[in-house]
Amino acid sequence: MNQVILKKKISQRVANGHPWIFANEVNEAPEGVEPGAIVDVYTHDKKFIGKGYFNSRSQILVRLLTRKKDDVVNEEFFYNRLLEAWKYRQQLGYEENCRLIFGEADNLPQMIIDKFNDYFVIQTLALGIDVWKPAIVAALEKIFRPKGIYERNDVPVRELEGLPQQKGFLSAPFDTKITIQENGLKFYVDIENGQKTGYFLDQQDNRRAIQHIVKGADVLGAFTYTGTFEIHAAHYGARSVLGLDISQNAVDQANRNAALNGVDNICKFECMNAFDVLKAWAREGKQYDVVMLDPPSFTKTRDNIQKAITGYKEINLRGMKLVKPGGFLVTSSCTNLVQPDLFLQIIQLAAKDARRKIRQVTFQTQSADHPIVWEWENTHYLKFLIVQVL
């Protein structure tokens, strides 16, 4: 029997149910175990904690899959996990597009599956779940009869697990440029070459939150990617919408999305460095009724947390200066290391430096298909805030 025995003193994180067990928390580990194999984990006094996949190449030695001793980890186990996850999403009202599996929050550590109607994109970010990729594909085929399955494992984090970066078809080949519907609008999705899995589903609920504040408004959006917030603004009745992104490819796709939805007469996108433009336009005295900021993550490590704090403060300060008195700032952060309380503090500091008073309209998190498990901070990463700027 492959058994891992923990030290007497382990982090509260493990005691609270988090599935990650680091190498420095382990007292005894089996020798010669194949990386990715399933092991049983026990406390120092031999009380059963759970079963999970083992990888001696990783700093996270074990990632727990179950706390039930009688569970057998096999193909049926993964089929049932996917079925449970799908039933949960259906209960919340997600039918066409959703994050079907959100890693640890769905008890499948380091596994991501995004559902784009009849197409699925998979990421297996740890060796232990990568081993079970054929079982995952078989389960998807059985539950959904999909038109296509694609893997987007072209991410550096896999290398920490001794895995190569790769992407490609896990089903018969198909056209990876597809169209989805969201909130009554249509968007092109480039499954093969788009960011992450091709589209950011985590903001789909939040995009509805702007519908009242943008009516008749002149709107500026920065870090637009493929223009989803901006096109929603145009759809909800904005007078004019300008979106900025540093990627010409993203801008081209955003303009195609605007045309696809018949709002290209209202909604325009330009390739610009938003950091520079926000600062320059604030100096010039330009102002908008609504400014929307959706920047990329500023840090992946705690070592650079101060850099992230500085970055968020700076762009929000610049954004506020571009808002007309009584207008609105829509701002987000996808850095899980910047937790909600800290993010709100950053916004307040930005307002102070901008010499503007703000009042909160709404403060939300990622869409509900990305469930949050309290006390597991890696499951709570997105902050979405709307404030009125006075």
Q: Which of 112, 144, 176 is the last residue of a domain?
A: 176
Q: Does 381 lie in the same domain as 338?
A: yes
- Domain of 31, CATH number, reads 2.30.130.10
What's the rounded mean pLDDT across residues 289-304?
A: 84
Model confidence pLDDT, tens digit, residues 255-267: 999 999 999 999 9
> Would residue 182 count as lying in a domain?
no
- Is the predicted pLDDT of residue 375 greater than 90, yes or no? no
pLDDT tens-digit series, residues 196-210: 999 999 999 999 999
Confidence check: pLDDT of 215 > 80: yes
| Spatial separation of the C-alpha atoms in residues 365 and 361, rounded to whole Å | 14
Mean pLDDT lowest among 188-192, 253-257, 305-309: 305-309
Instruction: Looking at the structure, tell me whether residues 170 and 309 fall in a common domain.
Output: no
d(CA 245, CA 357): 28
Total structural domains in the chain?
3
In degrees and rounded to multiples of 5, residue 65 shows phi and psi of -100, -30
Cα separation, 335 vs 332, in Å, equals 9
CATH number of residue 369's parent domain? 3.40.50.150
Give the chain's end-to-end CA distance (angstroms, integer).
65
Which range is least confidently modeled, 202-211, 303-312, 315-324? Answer: 303-312
* Residues 360 and 236 occupy one common structural domain: yes
**Structural domain of 93:** 75-176
Query: Residue 11: its pLDDT value, please?
Result: 73
Please state, in angstroms and rounded to a whole number, the distance separating the CA atoms of residues 76 and 183. Answer: 35
**Proportion of the chain above pLDDT 70, given as a percent:** 99
Query: Side chain identity at 236, as an amino acid letter?
Result: Y
pLDDT at residue number 252: 96
Query: What's the mean per-residue pLDDT of the chain?
Result: 94
Same-domain status, 104 and 139: yes
- Where does a domain end: 14, 36, 66? 66
Name residue, tokens 């705690």: 302
- Is 293 a member of any domain? yes
CA-based radius of gyration for the chain: 22
Taking alpha carbons only, the member of 277, 271, 272 closest to residue 253 is 271
Identify the weakest region by mean pLDDT among 25-34, 158-167, 168-177, 299-308: 299-308
Residue 181 lies in a domain: no
Across residues 291-300, what is the average pLDDT? 85
Same domain, 136 and 12: no
Of the residues 135, 160, 176, the one at which a domain ends: 176
For residue range 33-58, list pLDDT tens digits in order: 899 999 999 999 999 999 999 999 89
Indicate whether 304 pLDDT > 90. no
Query: 243 and 321: one domain?
Result: yes
In a domain, 270, yes or no: yes
Verify that 218 and 326 share a domain, yes or no. yes
Quote the pTM value: 0.94
- Residue 299, pLDDT > 90, answer no
CA 292 to chain CA mean position, Å: 18
For 341, the token pair is 């309380």
Is pLDDT at 303 greater than 80 in this prediction? no
Question: At 116, which CATH number?
Answer: 3.30.750.80
pLDDT higher than 90, residue 10? no
pLDDT of residue 13: 80
pLDDT at 122: 98
Q: Could you tell me if 252 and 382 lie in one domain?
A: yes
Residue 189 lies inside a defined structural domain of this protein: no
Structural domain includes residue 186: no
Quick check: is 195 in a domain? Answer: no
The mean per-residue pLDDT over the stretch 137-151 comes to 98
Same domain for 265 and 359, yes or no, is: yes
Q: Could you tell me if 13 and 120 lie in one domain?
A: no
Is residue 133 domain-shared with residue 40, that is, in the same domain?
no
For the cut 90, the answer to whether the pLDDT of residue 32 exceeds it is: no
In the structure, what pLDDT confidence band is assigned to residue 335 with cuts at 50, 70 and 90? confident
Decide if pLDDT at 302 tops 80: no
Q: Is residue 144 part of a domain?
A: yes
Q: What is the pLDDT of residues 44-100, one digit of tens each?
A: 999 999 999 999 989 999 999 999 999 999 999 999 999 999 999 999 999 899 999
Q: Are residues 48 and 109 in the same domain?
A: no
